[in-house]
């Protein structure tokens, strides 16, 4: 079952008009929330980011926070599987094709839940390969826009190289990767670029940052030069679906000793424990539409 404009229905029956501005202009924003054992992870943080993306793009938010939560729970409960990736997007709606915003268009809301696919154990233990590219996307990467052609083109570079991610540099500095944030480790210190218009403020980035702080792992949020990335002892990518994943080769060169490092092992463990804690709490705050 998927959700479209107020109704749960089978995906085959979910149809949108060709003049939807999401289809015509990529004029919309989205979110992806991981759900473990039917408990959404960091739901309020994802909803805050959605609200921010809508405000920044001046798309009317069609639902209150309580309504969003309610729809998500209905969708989660309608699936036969426990661990889910709940994708939702809001577009500016259906209107005659014209770049300027239409007046009176109703935002289109679409949501679906797919089985959550996190990295298999072997990849976690052995680490993954990445390649690099110049970050040639627009200057509002902080908005979670559905206009993802820049990210798709960059992701394809690593797909064609048989790698899991494309790590991006702009003006000699690390930004993020095509669909994840990036952390480097040098002499035990975790480094990651600060939030800015050049990166998506990742929910997993926040969790990793908080876990580092709470557990006394030194972390610096500062500009990271390309040469520091290439000379790092460890590299990680983070996202809601990849969680924390070690990168052990970059452009064919070994990262550190070519195996996931000790700081990664610690952070991976902390992340899994934190997930378990959230699941055990299992709380869904009172919801009503
Ligand atoms: C470009 C980009 N950066 C970072 C992330 C990680 O964000 P999150 O941790 O909220 O999944 C994503 C996730 O899809 C992304 O597309």
Question: Which residue's alpha carbon is nearest to atom 5 within ligand 1?
Answer: 180
Q: 288: how many CB neighbours lie within 10 A of its CB?
A: 7
d(CA 59, CA 51): 10
Q: What is the pLDDT of residue 289?
A: 32
How many angstroms is it from 96 CA to the middle of ligand 1?
Answer: 32
Residue with tokens 């709606």: 93
- Taking only the tens of pLDDT, the chain with its 289 residues reads 999 999 999 999 999 999 999 999 999 999 999 999 999 999 999 999 999 999 999 999 999 999 999 999 999 999 999 999 999 999 999 999 999 999 999 999 999 999 999 999 999 999 999 999 999 999 999 999 999 999 999 999 999 999 999 999 999 999 999 999 999 999 999 999 999 999 999 999 999 999 999 999 999 999 999 999 999 999 999 999 999 999 999 999 999 999 999 999 999 999 999 999 988 888 665 333 3
Contact present, 235 and 255 (Cβ < 8 Å)? yes
User: Which of 144, 195, 275, 283 is the catalytic position?
Assistant: 144
How many angstroms is it from 180 CA to the middle of ligand 1?
Answer: 4
Question: Which residue's alpha carbon is nearest to atom 3 within ligand 1?
Answer: 180
**SS3 of 126, please?**
helix
Q: What is the pLDDT of residue 281?
A: 86
Question: Which residue's alpha carbon is nearest to atom 16 within ligand 1?
Answer: 179
* DSSP, res 90: E
How many angstroms is it from 203 CA to the middle of ligand 1?
Answer: 8
How many angstroms is it from 103 CA to the middle of ligand 1?
Answer: 31
How many angstroms is it from 200 CA to the middle of ligand 1?
Answer: 6
- Of 133, 142, 237, which Cα lies nearest the Cα of 184? 237
Ligand 1 mutation pick, 140, 200, 210, max ligand atoms within 8 A of CB: 200
Question: Which residue's alpha carbon is nearest to atom 1 within ligand 1?
Answer: 179
Q: 61: how many CB neighbours lie within 10 A of its CB?
A: 16
Partners of 130 in beta bridges: 165, 250
Phi-psi region of 231 (alpha: psi -120 to 50; beta: other; left: phi over 0): alpha
Question: Which residue's alpha carbon is nearest to atom 4 within ligand 1?
Answer: 180
Which atom of ligand 1 is nearest the CA belonging to 141?
1
Partners of 9 in beta bridges: 2
Contact present, 131 and 167 (Cβ < 8 Å)? yes
* DSSP, res 13: G
pTM of the predicted model as reported, rounded to 2 decimal places? 0.96
**SS3 of 32, please?**
strand
**SS3 of 51, please?**
helix
Q: Is 144 a catalytic residue?
A: yes
| Per-residue tokens: 90 | 């809001």
d(CA 96, CA 94): 7
d(CA 178, CA 153): 9
* Sequence-ordered strand ranges (E) for 17-107: 28-36, 39-40, 84-91
Q: What is the enclosing helix (H) or strand (E) of 50?
A: helix 43-57
Instruction: Compute the half-sphere exposure of residue 230: CA atoms within 13 Å on the CB side of its CA.
Output: 13
The ligand 1 site (C-beta within 6 Å) comprises: 32, 151, 176, 179-181, 200, 202-205, 238-240
């Amino acid at each position: 079952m998927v959700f479209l404009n107020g109704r749960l229905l089978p995906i085959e029956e979910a149809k949108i008009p060709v003049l939807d501005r999401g289809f015509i202009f990529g004029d919309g924003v989205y979110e992806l929330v991981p759900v473990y054992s039917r408990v959404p992870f960091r739901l309020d943080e994802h909803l805050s980011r959605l609200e921010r993306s809508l405000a920044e793009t001046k798309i009317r938010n069609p639902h209150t926070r309580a309504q969003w939560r309610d729809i998500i729970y209905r969708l989660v409960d309608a699936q036969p599987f426990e661990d889910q990736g709940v994708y939702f997007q809001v577009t500016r709606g259906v209107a005659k094709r014209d770049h300027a915003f239409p007046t009176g268009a109703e935002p289109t809301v679409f949501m679906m839940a797919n089985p959550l696919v996190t990295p298999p154990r072997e990849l976690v233990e052995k680490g993954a390969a990445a390649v690099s590219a110049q970050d040639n996307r627009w200057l509002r990467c902080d908005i979670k826009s559905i206009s993802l052609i820049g990210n798709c083109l960059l992701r394809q570079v690593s797909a064609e190289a048989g790698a899991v991610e494309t790590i991006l540099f702009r003006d000699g500095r690390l930004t993020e990767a095509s669909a994840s944030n990036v952390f480097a480790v040098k002499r035990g210190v975790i480094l990651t670029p600060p939030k800015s218009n050049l990166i998506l403020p990742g929910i997993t980035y926040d969790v990793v940052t908080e876990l580092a702080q709470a557990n006394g792992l030194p972390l610096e949020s500062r500009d990271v030069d390309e040469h520091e990335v290439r000379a790092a002892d460890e590299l990680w990518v983070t996202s809601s679906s990849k969680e924390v994943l070690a990168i052990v080769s970059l452009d064919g060169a070994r990262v550190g000793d070519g195996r996931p490092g000790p700081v990664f092992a610690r952070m991976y463990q902390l992340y899994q424990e934190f997930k378990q804690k959230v699941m055990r709490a299992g709380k869904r705050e009172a919801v009503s539409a």
